[in-house]
Amino acid sequence: MTLAIRPATPTDLPLIAAFIRDLAEYEKLSHEVRFDEAKLAANLFGPRPYAEVVIGEIDGTPQGFALFFHNFSTFEGRPGIYLEDLFVRPEARGSGLGKALLAHLAQLCVTRDCARLEWSVLDWNEPSIGFYKSLGARMMDKWTVMRVDGDALKTLAGA
């Protein structure tokens, strides 16, 4: 079995869209998937990409992906990488691909002089939490994620 991680290209857009939908289904959030593929393509591969994607393959077959972008730590004075989505198809779990994807991002962090790699995980997702802890990740128990979206975002923006 050969594991490989490669940068996504625009021709991977249908695959990326499928991975996003599969992840949403796993997280019981399919009802929240609203992206338009053309906008997704522009935001990933256009003149100003807002995020990057790597594809994880087993024996040349795409079986997972990681979508990430840079954030910034003012305390460190350096960028970080925020992992928005990590997904490995159920039949490929246990193969080491998830660890390989995270290791690839860790290597990018080191290469790009980033201070940290971080992400969120749903609190009910015990298998993933255990997996992440086994890799040395720690819970940020004193932090709570906040979000403004939809009508509240428009109201805040004065729109």
Q: What is the C-alpha radius of gyration for the chain, rounded to an integer number of angstroms?
A: 16
Catalytic-role residue among 26, 50, 82, 132 = 132
CA–centroid distance for 129 within its chain: 15
50 assigned to active site: no
SS (H, E, C) 83-131: EEEEEECHHHCCCCHHHHHHHHHHHHHHHCCCCCEEECCCCCCHHHHHH
What is the pairing mode between strands 78-88 and 117-119?
parallel
d(CA 64, CA 90): 10
Ramachandran quadrant class, 40 (left: phi over 0; alpha: psi -120 to 50; beta: rest): alpha
Task: List active site positions.
Answer: 132
